[in-house]
Amino acid sequence: MNIEIKDIQKRFGDFVALHQINLAIAQGELLALLGPSGSGKTTLLRIIAGLEQPTSGSILFGGDDLVGQSLRERKIGFVFQHYALFRHMTVFENVAFGLRVKRRAERPAEAEIGKRVRRLLDLVQLGPFGGRYPSQLSGGQRQRVALARALAIGPRVLMLDEPFGALDAKVRKELRRWLRGLHDEMGLTSVFVTHDQEEALELADRVVIMNQGRIEQIGSPDYVYEHPASAFAYEFLGNVNRFECAIRNGQAVFAGGTISVPENANTGDGPAIAYVRPHDIEVFTGPTAAALAATVSYISAAGPLAKVEVAAADGRLIEIELARPMLRALALKVGSLVHIRARKARVFRRDAEPSPGETHSIRGEGRYSEPATPPAPMWHI
């Protein structure tokens, strides 16, 4: 079922929760709505599902306009953030609910309901738990009951609100992989909301990055990660170091030098911010051309990538990620003097925050081909 969202706007009193949202979701796609809290992602999901009415705009499911249609007619499987299981019903009855409330003509016979529910419980690996109550299940199990319950009505679309938010890291990872498998196997169209960029990038076919009721960028996970459309997207998709600079005649001017950013030639002069990902910073032990001297202040070597924090001469902290062999080769210790240089950076005009109309334009990319003195870091995330 392909979904088309046209000019959806939502106001709560004076507050505009969503500004003119346009979005097309293809049949069989797994789409992530990603954004910080208050970005409007959950409101958008609830509007698509029919739990909330938009102030204006239309939603087409396979060509039919849904606005004004009741939830019953929409046939959307909705998985709530806190699962919203019926606490007074057993797991079996929870899953059977959608079948039992059907109109008499469409309602399956009791034996058929039992068969279908058992099949769904097996599907979500909860076969033996049919007689339990929700309060007797773990978080991951509840989540799977909520999924089975939503799937029981044979939904055209599956929608999940922060599906893994309340689970611990290990269960979350398992469930994520399992959900992806289920989505592919059943050929569903699925939309989920998350504030966790890692989750969105790992699970989704396409990611919609939202901020303050607007869509900042839409794209495949690797595209949005490699080519963030805006400063917001860059900061939201993973850790980043932020450096202040200025654009002058197509060049980024830092406190200690200048680099050429041809992509910014047309953006005009003005203050700008350069973003450098922690893994895009090179570390040298000896003095190096165009490198900034800094002192190692913290090393965390747990995990495949070692996190190193260095303090520049002015005391500002810069976060760096190094492969562990690299860390060993450099023999870094807290207090070591190092020289760092950005391998890759991206510069955005400071005053030209993305306007609603041009959410997809990439505004500029600077490569430190010949960096002068590396810029003074503003702060790190």
The answer to the question of residue 372 lying near other proteins (CB under 8 A) is no
Q: Which is nearer to other proteins, 88 or 333 (CB)?
A: 88
**101 is a contact residue toward other proteins (CB under 8 A):** yes
What track of x and - describes contact with other proteins for positions 278 through 307 (by CB under 8 A)? ------------------------------
Residue 336 neighbours by CB under 8 Å, 6+ apart: 285, 295, 296
> In the complex with other proteins, which residue's Cβ is closer, 82 or 360?
82
Q: Which two tokens stand for residue 58?
A: 């239309």
Task: Select the span of 19-27, 150-158, 243-251, 313-321 touching other proteins (CB under 8 A).
Answer: 150-158
Calculate helix-pair angle for 139-151, 91-100, nearest 10 degrees: 20
Rounded to whole angstroms, the Cα distance separating 45 from 220 reads: 19
Map tokens 């805006």 to a residue: 230
Q: Which of 35, 40, 54, 98 binds other proteins (CB under 8 A)?
A: 98
Q: Which residues contact 138 (CB under 8 A, 6 or more apart)?
A: 171
From 57-65, 133-141, 258-266, 372-380, give the range in contact with other proteins by CB under 8 A: 133-141
Assess 97 for contact with other proteins (CB under 8 A).
yes
Interacting residue with other proteins among 133, 178, 223, 225 (CB under 8 A): 133
The CA-based angle 219-221-223, given to 5 degrees, is 60
- The distance of closest approach from Cβ of residue 74 to other proteins in the complex, given in angstroms and rounded to an integer, is 8
Residues in the chain: 381
Closest contact distance (angstroms) between CB of 106 and other proteins is 9
- Of 55 and 285, CB closest to other proteins: 55
Comparing CB distances to other proteins, the nearer of 87 and 333 is 87
Strands (E), 214-358: 214-219, 241-248, 251-253, 258-260, 270-276, 281-284, 292-300, 305-312, 317-323, 337-342, 346-349
Phi first, then psi: what are they for 205, rounded to 5°? -75, -40
Kindly tell me which residue out of 3, 34, 150, 204 binds other proteins, with binding defined by CB under 8 A.
Answer: 150
The correct pick among 82, 324, 343, 360 for binding other proteins (CB under 8 A) is: 82
Q: Measure the CA–CA gap between 55 and 288, rounded to whole angstroms.
A: 58
Taking the complex as a whole, how short is the minimal distance between the CB of residue 268 and other proteins, in angstroms?
47
Of the two residues 61 and 78, which places its CB atom closer to other proteins in the complex? 78
Size of the site for other proteins (CB under 8 A): 29
With binding defined as CB under 8 A, does residue 72 bind other proteins? yes
Among 36, 80, 238, 250, binds other proteins (CB under 8 A): 80
Q: Which is nearer to other proteins, 70 or 369 (CB)?
A: 70
Name the token pair of 122.
Answer: 């097996």
The Cβ of residue 22 has, within 10 Å, a number of other Cβ atoms equal to: 13
Pick the closest to residue 2 from 179, 209, 180, 190 (CA basis).
190
Smaller CB distance to other proteins: residue 108 or 238? 108
In which residue are the tokens 């089975």 written?
A: 148
State the DSSP string of 189-215.
Answer: EEEEEES-HHHHHHH-SEEEEEETTEE
CA distance 200 to 80: 17
Output 29 or 52, the one with its CB closest to other proteins.
52
Binds other proteins by CB under 8 A, chosen from 13, 15, 63, 88:
88
The residue among 52 and 205 lying less far from other proteins, judged by its C-beta, is: 52
* Contacts (Cβ under 8 Å, ≥6 apart) of 108: 99, 102, 116
- CB count within 10 Å of CB 359 equals 18
Q: Which amino acid is at 40?
A: G
Can residue 102 be called a binding residue for other proteins (CB under 8 A)?
A: yes
Residues 16-55 that bind other proteins (CB under 8 A): 49-51
Of 140 and 371, which has the nearer Cβ to other proteins? 140
Of 361, 312, 348, 306, the residue nearest 330 (C-alpha): 306
- Interaction site with other proteins (CB under 8 A): 49-51, 71-72, 75-78, 80, 82, 84-89, 97-98, 100-102, 133, 135-136, 149-150, 152-153
